[in-house]
Chains A and B, each alone.
Chain A
Amino acid sequence: MSAGALASPQAWLRAQARWHPVEVAFWLATLAPYWLFPDYLVLASQIAITALFALSLDLILGYAGIVSLGHAAFFGLGAYTAGLAAKYGWGEPISGLVLGALVAGVVGYAASFIVARFRHLALIMITLGMGLLLVEAANSASWLTGGNDGLQGVKMWPIFNAFRFDLYGVTAYTYALAALFLVFLLARRIIHSPFGLSLRGIRDNATRMPALGAPSRAHLRTIYTIAAVMAGVAGALLAQTTETVSLESLGFQRSADVLVMLILGGTGRLYGGLVGAIIFMVARDQFSGNTPQFWYFWIGMLLIAVVMFLPNGILGGLAKLTASWRRA
């Protein structure tokens, strides 16, 4: 990496963008559940959706340094849009997905003008406040959203008029995985572009980048909108595959959970959110059972341990380990 940095920036970016064999292996492994765990495909589809959501948070938090405690707002917007479209007569999944992404993107674009102005505590509070405001709004508009009971009566049509959403989650997993992969390709392209590089610059030094002539706020607005669109896609996927939407999809808990996953996996490394989501969701499925509050005991301990001992998450720790191997 340091050797590449000496060459021209374009060459460095191109070298970064090359597909590593481990990446190919990772994506091939995502096909394994079809044969290895056919009974867990519903869970696998939820993991893919959550991974997509974590990836969208990684773009703003890991790459642009925007700490958000309200990212579930966009997830919920996508979910409610797709759910409502299907409830009121348009159950076509793919156009519903696009619609959900669009609504989340428009709101994200509007919110980005506020978010890009702040840093530190004010930023955390603003994102938290906007998220809470949306929960309250969805709760009081119960004639539309179903309030605390959740949105009922979502009926999806088969994908391409051929693939029905089945009980075992085969269609759901394929659909979610395809969406995740496509969005991942997009995210990967963004990160390995000059725009992605300048985002990292803003994250690392917010005062120097404008001095170099980079339009910081415009960049932050762009990436925030993109992340909102991605979160909207994830939310729409969840609404369509589960055929219900609850207030929980907007809530603080979801924003906090996705942050935990991302931190666990490692921020600012594309696969961090994906790995974190897999570990978090599988562990929750296995351990939480009927006592969710004790599940959070372990999450809390894990967070403390990660901050104290593994500051760059699991992937950061692995990267350090392989680097020390190479030197040895």
Chain B
Amino acid sequence: MIGPVIGVLFDGFAYGMLLFLLSVGLSVTLGTMNFVNLAHCAFAMLGGYVTVTLMNQLTWPFFATLPFAFLAAALVSVLFERVLFRRLYRASDLDQVLLTIGLAFVSVAAAAYIYGTLQQPVQMPPYLRGSVTVAGVSFAAYRLFLIGTALVITLALVGALEYTRFGAQVRAAVDNQRMARGLGINVNGVFAVSFALGSGLAGLGGALAIEIVGLDPSFAFTYLIYVLIVISVGGLGSIGGSFAAATLIGISDVAGKYYLPELGSFLIYLVMLVVLMWRPAGLFGRR
């Protein structure tokens, strides 16, 4: 009786951690610059394809590809940020939505052109394929690894944000951009770095997602919706909020699909609408 419940909670939490990695970067960019970047999951998809290419074409081990998934997404995103996005920081929501959704369309078509529209096959190393049984409940090794990675990254992020000089600058920029500029903080520079970091994390998330949800060109849109749900439920610019919301949405989604499969994704949309009606700025949002 209790076994399946724990299994669902575990799978849901693992899925939530994946959503957290995918969404935390967008939450920070939206919180700092109010920039609605709907191409965020295109960067995640890029990370996924980097891992697939390195593993299948160059036969690299899975772990060695992860830093490159991170770096590729970070570098490409900062390129776009410098060339295109920064011109639209003061533009309307609608213009930002249109530009970035256009970029997402282009990325989907480019991925379909290069890799085709089929799911990409990947072979995980043997030590991530089995499962660990504790007290009669089995936990998939890969999901344990995913949860571990996400927790380490969360701690590192919170630590960096709370205890470093750069973290203090980011917090200042989120809280009051004008004042931060007035104090001589290079807000644009801080923003470019956090943008790259957030997109890099999305790229890493995209690479880690392959084993759980697969990878095909529609990834940029399918997971965009989940990511937007997570950040709007969690509140903009809040790492803790994103973490809580990702956990909530991940567990609701897995539990909904397990116990009420006929409802499909109904449950998470409902959770989002209810949270937003109750608190339009999200659970941890301040504005």
Show the binding face of A for B, using Cβ within 8 Å: 61, 67, 69, 114, 117-118, 120-122, 124-126, 128-130, 132-133, 136-137, 139-140, 252, 256, 259, 263, 267, 293-294, 296-297, 299-304, 306-308, 311
Contact = CB atoms under 8 A, between A and B. Distances in A.
A151 B276 CA distance: 33
Among B30, B101, B265, chain A packs the most CB atoms within 10 A around the CB of: B101
Interface string B215-239: 0010001000100110010001000
A130 B102 contact: no
Contacts of A69: 97
A67 to B, nearest CB: 5
Contacts of A120: 93
A122 B102 contact: no
A267 B94 CA distance: 11
B205 to A, nearest CB: 20
A128 B225 contact: yes
Interface string B163-203: 00000000000000000000000000000000000000000
Nearest to A132: B269
23 contacts: A121-B36, A121-B93, A122-B232, A124-B36, A125-B228, A128-B225, A129-B273, A132-B265, A133-B270, A136-B264, A136-B265, A293-B117, A294-B109, A299-B102, A300-B102, A300-B109, A301-B102, A303-B98, A303-B102, A304-B84, A304-B102, A306-B98, A308-B87
B105 A307 contact: no
A96 B217 CA distance: 39
A79 B86 CA distance: 41
A297 B117 CA distance: 14
Interface residues of B, number: 45
Interface string B17-48: 00000000000001000001000000000000
B113 A294 contact: yes
A217 B113 CA distance: 46
B269 A297 contact: no
B106 A297 contact: yes
Contacts, number: 114
B264 A129 contact: no
B99 A307 contact: yes
Interface of B: 30, 36, 84, 87-88, 91, 93-95, 97-99, 101-110, 112-113, 117, 217, 221, 225, 228-229, 232, 236, 262-266, 269-270, 272-273, 276-277, 280-281
Nearest to B218: A293
Nearest to A299: B105
Nearest to A114: B277
B30 A303 contact: no
B81 to A, nearest CB: 14
Given A136-B266, A256-B101, A304-B102, A297 B110 contact: yes
Contacts of B270: 133
B266 A128 contact: no
Contacts of B105: 296-297, 299-300, 303
Nearest to A295: B109
Contact of A140 (B30, B112, B266): B266
B62 to A, nearest CB: 28
A302 B228 contact: no
A122 B225 CA distance: 13
Nearest to A69: B97
* In the A-B complex, the 3 residue pairs with the closest CB atoms: A303-B102, A300-B105, A297-B109
A291 to B, nearest CB: 9
B229 A301 contact: no
Nearest to B273: A129
B266 A118 contact: no
